[in-house]
Amino acid sequence: MVHVEDSAPDHRVRCLRYKEIDHRREVPGGEAKEAIELGKRVLKVNGMKKYYEVRDNSLRALFAGKRIRHVKANEELSFTAREGETVAIVGESGCGKSTFAKVLMGLETSTEGEVRHNGKDISEVAVRDRSAKQISSLQMVFQNPFDTLNPSHSIGGQISRVIKKFGVETDKKKIFDRVMILLDTVKLPRDFYFRKPRQLSGGQKQRIGIARAFAGNPSMVIADEPVSALDVSVAAAVTELLMDIQREHKTTLLFISHDMSVVRYLSDRIVVMYLGHILERGTTEEIFAPPYHPYTEALLSAVPIADPEVTKREIVLEGNLPSAMKPPKGCPFCTRCHRRIGDICDNDPPLEQFVVDRHIIKCHIPLEELRQVLPVITVPGVSERLHVEQMDEH
């Protein structure tokens, strides 16, 4: 260890050439990845609703004779995803993201509507009634890697079991070789085959979660906040890894997150959810530029920006998400909207307005007015130019 300065005797560094390091030099940014060609449509969600029944034991419910109430977790969800596409589902806690994931995985069944995967409606088919082929083609990376691995089985044993169960390989040697390839893919040493989950860090466990999800060659993977239990640097590496594997296998990825800054860099399309509803959906560029849904505008305003050159409009989202048991009668966002236009917002549910192609916004404000809204995030020289170009197009 060498002293850095005589004036700071406790500041030491284990590098003899530390004086040669130029700390002001710009760190090279990550390589931009080439866009992959999208294939056929693999998921079509059409008017999907999921209501949970809950018992209300209050005296009021007893007198009114209404003991059963409904939590409206998903309301009329409609969107599609194509082969090789990454679709992000974003929204605050409690807006119904995981409920949708559960219906897709067959852990819950829908109340109404369709969820077509590879052409087949699976919205009311529970996981126990799905074929091995259906289960293997639709896999999940869970939020918490600590809960999803069996503590008493080795890592190799747990991945092998998936390969065997889904009939990817039956021969013992071939199964072993495939586990090794999967360990290479998730960038873990091969001797992790013999380790038990408790001998792994959180980031390593989530890599195993990813290896297990891809073990059965799925056509679609749903990742429900896959890195929120990990610290920032590990989260970035695990997200990058997940994206690399998804691109290599041309898997459709549904990435659930509450963080707009994360989904900006990894998704092709974004679905913005609020209180069980889709309020806006479109390509990532469409979501990050006006016209915005007022809720999207508020979410963008919460994105942390480190660059002092970039400016951001402040929109404070007041209050909390209303109860999914007693949602507002009109627009689901009316109790918190900074652009609320009057009684119509409280009384009438807004219809979808088509901006262009598959970009939709559910709001009573006419599109022409939403197009006048200035960008939330302004990169000097870039945002203004884009905004003027977009206005010219219309």
- Residues of this chain that bind ligand SF4 (CB under 6 A): 294, 331, 333-334, 337, 339-341, 345, 350, 363-365
CA distance 356 to 359: 5
Site string for ligand ATP, 313-342 (x = CB under 6 A): -----------x------------------
Total site size for Mg ion, rule CB under 5 A:
1
Site string for ligand ATP, 82-111 (x = CB under 6 A): ---------x-xxxxxxx------------
Cα distances (angstroms) measured from residue 178 to each of 33, 149, 171, 211, 221 = 27, 19, 11, 10, 19
Site string for ligand ATP, 54-73 (x = CB under 6 A): x----------------x-x
Total site size for ligand ATP, rule CB under 6 A:
14
Helix axes 202-214, 172-185, angle to 10 degrees: 130
List, in order, residues 6 or more apart from 68 with CB less than 8 Å away. 53, 54, 55, 56
Count of Cβ atoms closer than 10 Å to residue 348 Cβ = 13
SS (H, E, C) 189-241: CHHHHHCCHHHCCHHHHHHHHHHHHHCCCCCEEEEECCCCCCCHHHHHHHHHH
* Nearest to ligand ATP of 258, 277 (CB atom): 258
* Nearest to ligand SF4 of 220, 337 (CB atom): 337
The residues in 72-131 that bind Mg ion, with binding defined as CB under 5 A, are: 98
* Nearest to ligand SF4 of 321, 363 (CB atom): 363
Query: 340 touches which of ligand SF4, Mg ion, ligand ATP, none (CB within 5 to 8 A by kind)?
Result: ligand SF4
| Residue 126 near ligand ATP by CB under 6 A | no
Question: Shortest Cβ distance from residue 296 to ligand SF4 (Å)?
Answer: 10
CA distance 365 to 291: 11
List, in order, residues 6 or more apart from 326 with CB less than 8 Å away. none
CA distance 381 to 106: 48
Query: 331 touches which of ligand ATP, ligand SF4, Mg ion, none (CB within 5 to 8 A by kind)?
Result: ligand SF4
- Cα 265-261-340 angle, rounded to 5 deg: 125
Strands 41-55 and 352-356: unpaired
Question: Shortest Cβ distance from residue 225 to Mg ion (Å)?
Answer: 6
* Nearest to ligand ATP of 168, 325 (CB atom): 325
Query: 106 touches which of ligand ATP, ligand SF4, Mg ion, none (CB within 5 to 8 A by kind)?
Result: none
Question: Shortest Cβ distance from residue 383 to Mg ion (Å)?
Answer: 32
Burial degree of 276 (CB within 10 A; 0-12, 13-18, 19+): buried
CA distance 339 to 346: 12
Query: 176 touches which of Mg ion, ligand ATP, ligand SF4, none (CB within 5 to 8 A by kind)?
Result: none
Residue choice 178, 205, 258, 293 for contact with ligand ATP (CB under 6 A):
258
Query: 71 touches which of ligand ATP, Mg ion, ligand SF4, none (CB within 5 to 8 A by kind)?
Result: ligand ATP
CA distance 49 to 114: 9
* Nearest to ligand SF4 of 96, 216 (CB atom): 96
* Nearest to Mg ion of 256, 300 (CB atom): 256
Q: Are 44 and 33 in contact (CB under 8 A)?
A: no
Residue choice 4, 44, 46, 52 for contact with ligand ATP (CB under 6 A):
52
CA distance 81 to 86: 8
Contact residues: Mg ion, CB under 5 A? 98
Binding site for ligand ATP (CB under 6 A): 52, 54, 71, 73, 91, 93-99, 258, 324
